[in-house]
Structure 1
Amino acid sequence: MSDHPPTVSAPQRAPERPLIDVRNLTVRYSISRTGQTLTAVENVNLTIEAGEFVTVLGPSGCGKTTVMNVIAGLVRATEGEVLVDGVPVDGPSPDRAVVFQDYALLPWRTVFDNVRFGVEMQKQYRGVDMHDKVQETIEIVGLKGFEKSYPRELSGGMQQRVGLARALVGGPRVLLMDEPLGAVDALTREVMRAELERIIQATGSTVVFITHSIEEAILLGDRIVVFKSHPGSVLEVHETNMSRPRSERGAQGDPRYIELRDHLWAALEREATDAVRARA
């Protein structure tokens, strides 16, 4: 008889589910003028973990925004589904906030009131004094002292900060950003990238960030998702594997940055060339 105790297998831990799970997503639109059906995206599969910053690249018209809008609950899937924390998305939710390129601020409202608008329509905050939370969020995005200013009195970068604060004030788990820095100048864009990285680290939000800039995708993303078009689908996904914080000047000497930049340029160039040939 053996003196050794019997070996007992450790219980298997169930794998943690991703925060966002895009499963076999297809979206089609009917074009009433022609009677044709347009497939915007087809069989898209993607998972995003809680706390990840995922950047999305691809040529215009490849369906990036369509996928983001399905996650936001603004567009319905034709086939497949999107789950957030295991629950199928069937409409908008305060847990998912959207930041658009054009700011979409209310010109008759001050900075403070524009940010407060982010919680005014949410049932859980009705009757709750949100003054301190609004003020705290304004300070997080670096706009302390501008609470009483109107959008027309702000620069483009400052207006984008207001839009970001309005999205963050309700404490969403997911922040969906569609080319949010596309309308600002190059210098402001670089400053805003660094600020955005700081803000996201402070809030712990999970981010899906659409951009046409390869450099921006690398500098901000934990992972980069590259889309192809006609119809839109995921072409490839890359881990950035670079330490934070990141700056464009600091990253230019990083071999990983150079490797990713060159690869992504080549992949998108091939995709653009193939798209032109397909239309010829």
Structure 2
Amino acid sequence: MDETSAPYRAGFACFVGRPNAGKSTLTNAIIGSKIAITSNRPQTTRHVVRGILHRPDSQLILVDTPGFHRPRTLLGERLNDQVRQTWSEVDVIGLCIPADEKLGPGDRFISREIAGLKAKVVAVVTKTDLVNRATLVRQLTAVNEMGDFADIVPVSAVAGEQLDTLVEVLSSHLPESPQLYPDDMISDEPERVMIAELVREAALEGVREELPHSIAVLIEDIQDEETEDGPRKKVFAEIYVERSSQKAIVIGKGGARLRVVGTRARKEIAKLLGARVYLDLHVRVAKDWQRNPKYLQRLGF
């Protein structure tokens, strides 16, 4: 590196915002690989996941966190604690505010919560593909008036608009530092947790409104086995719900829904592992697991 070139920067950034503000979709779009699960249901993300973006002049480690919300269960309280812990450790925070929804108490509450932290705060106006230019201008003006942000960047993760600009802005606020992870690493998330999240994402698709918060997945075992068609991974996974009625919904008539869940999850797991996969799925009832410390510990919370 010659003396006139910009210093190398490396550090941690996270997106915050109320549930369903587009944080996980944005993280996946920037990293260019599926490291965080997405859903059209709020509060999909449950684990802190780090995705690593390698650039010639910087290494941006994006930390995907659960949505900050008013907790109604012990699980909710623990997720909020996870989020606050992450906020205190990152270098840059991107406050995600949807372009298609007016600023609300939730946005202002989170803005106040992060105002006193050491991290630089960048306002990220998401979902710009869903509004016209006049609406976007009004939202950008309202966001500008809400707080003293280091930058304000409008983006659309779905349309891929302004993602490069956002990466440039986030990277510019990172500290000068040598790279923190090897070149070939895109996430430091444990393999089993990522597989469990892929199964949970598949199980969330198309289920009724009340189910997402009731579903958890535990990977019991992963085995290597030889078959006539060559080696494959055998994954044993358990889907936990809170009531027998929810178990029936996840399984579906004659097991039809569970077969769809298995097929969808198996394809994503095979991509993740770069191997053929056999997925063994079972659905279990763990009554009120979101409020039970013993179950929460078993399920990794």
Same-fold status (TM-score > 0.5): no
Q: Which has the higher contact order (CA 8 A, sep 6+)?
A: 1
TM-score bin (small chain): under 0.3
Indicate the structure (1 or 2) with the bigger Cα radius of gyration: 1
